[in-house]
Chain A
Amino acid sequence: MTGSSAVPELSGTQASILAAYAELIEELGSDDVSYRVIARRAGIAERTVFRNYPTRVDLLLATAAWIETTLFAREESHSIFDIPLAIRDAMQRYDLRPELAHVVAETAMRGVSGAAPSPDRAHLERLLDAEVPSLDAAQRRAVIAALSHLDSAGTWVTFRREFGMDRRDIADAAAWAAEAVLDSIRDRVAS
């Protein structure tokens, strides 16, 4: 998994809390789930949930990170030019779990107090630097930023909401956009 550096190690209890909350979000939405219900679903005491996640915001951010790195985990790409394929897969996965995709998309838009909006940044930089080391700083940054933006739940939300696209269309358009970004560096691979 590419974003694992951004996610702290979880205890077994924590993982079961986050999995329970993710399940409940899909059933009830993220607003209406009490700690009591989460504790019961995870099979633990309510105070254990509080001890691990003192506030609802703590719990939601941890859950969003967990969802992105487990349920929406990308297959590892070995080339920057494989990223469009990973994006296509990711869009299809978001589409199968719409409630969770919205949670991941929204928590990444909260600024520094939110979830990391570009968990795959370091991985993309490694791939790009290995294959196309000749880019100037501004171009390198623009390519990474654009790919990172496209490889996100925000893409799925926006294409669906603003254009009424279905799963196939979203996967197509997101991968297409990533190919367009890569067109600018396609013939600059180091020999």
Chain B
Amino acid sequence: MEEPVDTATAILASAAVLLRERTFDDISYRALADEVGISERTIYRQYPTRAHLLAALSNWIEQTRFPLPPFVTVSDFRAAVHERFRAFDTLPAYAYVGARASAISPTLDIEPAYITRAIEAMLDVAAPTLNRRDQRRIAASLRFFSSAMFWARLRTGFDMDAGEICDAFDRAVDNVLAKLPDGTRAES
């Protein structure tokens, strides 16, 4: 059996179990309380609104199911994102939770996601002399094309599978990086 965990985490683990058979909206605090074996009040104390629950659930899923492989170079970045998109395809219900959580009005002071910082660090190395505005444009574009939102939109809106989504992602990355002026690239 797994290690015993604190109440907040036990709630998230149970919510993840329930997500296998119903959507997030159909998981009531009542059903969740029954699943964990605690009172509904305890859940409200941990997660005062469903938005709090969604954000925490997404973080937990991210850490346990979709850890982002570290990357430094652009090719490692592409490989890391491909791996995530393929993982999303194996657990779509979990991936949609991540996409939704990244779209809601923030419940807490939100730190930028790890991948945002990693993309910025990657660009510092790949294009060290690039001006700040273009650097942010490129970082923001790469971040948005590598997001769970991109996967979710292409899966739902375009019926694309992970392979096709990876292809669309690669083409978008090519287009964005083609904007790098000559001479800013550190790599040969």
> B50, A163: Cβ atoms under 8 Å?
no
Give every chain A residue within 8 A of B105 (Cβ-Cβ). Answer: 29, 98-99, 102
In the complex, which residue of chain B has the Cβ closest to the Cβ of A138? B167
Which of B23, B25, B149, B160 has the most chain A CB within a 10 Å cutoff? B149
CB distance from A137 to the nearest CB of B (A): 10
Does B23 contact A158, Cβ atoms closer than 8 Å?
no
Is A172 a contact of B143 with CB atoms below 8 Å?
no
In the bound complex, what is the Cα–Cα distance between A31 and B49 (angstroms)? 8
Bound Cα distance from A153 to B103, whole angstroms: 9
Shortest B49–chain A CB gap in Å is 5
Q: Which of A138, A142, A143, A152 lies at the interface centre, i.e. has the most chain B CB atoms within 10 A of its CB?
A: A142
Contacts of B150 in A (CB 8 A): 149
- The closest CB in chain A to the CB of B153 belongs to A117
Contact residues of B: prevailing secondary structure: helix
Contact A159 B140 (CB under 8 A): yes
Q: How large is the interface on A (under 10, 10 to 19, 20 to 34, 35 or more residues)?
A: 35 or more
Are B144 and A177 in touch, CB under 8 angstroms? Answer: yes
Q: Is B168 a contact of A145 with CB atoms below 8 Å?
A: yes
Partner of B112, one of A109, A155, A163: A163
B168:A146 contact, CB within 8 angstroms: yes
Contacts of B139 in A (CB 8 A): 163
Chain B residues near A118 (CB-CB < 8 A): 153, 156-158
Of A98, A142, A172, the contact of B167 (CB 8 Å cutoff): A142
Contact B49 A180 (CB under 8 A): no
B interface, CB within 8 angstroms of A: 23, 25, 49-51, 92-93, 96, 99-100, 102-106, 110, 112-113, 116, 133, 136-137, 139-141, 143-145, 147-150, 152-158, 160, 164, 167-168, 171-172, 174-176, 178-179
Residues of A near any B CB (own CB < 8 A): 29, 31, 57, 98-99, 102, 105-106, 108-114, 116-118, 121, 138-139, 141-146, 148-150, 152-155, 157-159, 161-163, 165, 169, 172-173, 176-177, 180-181, 183-184
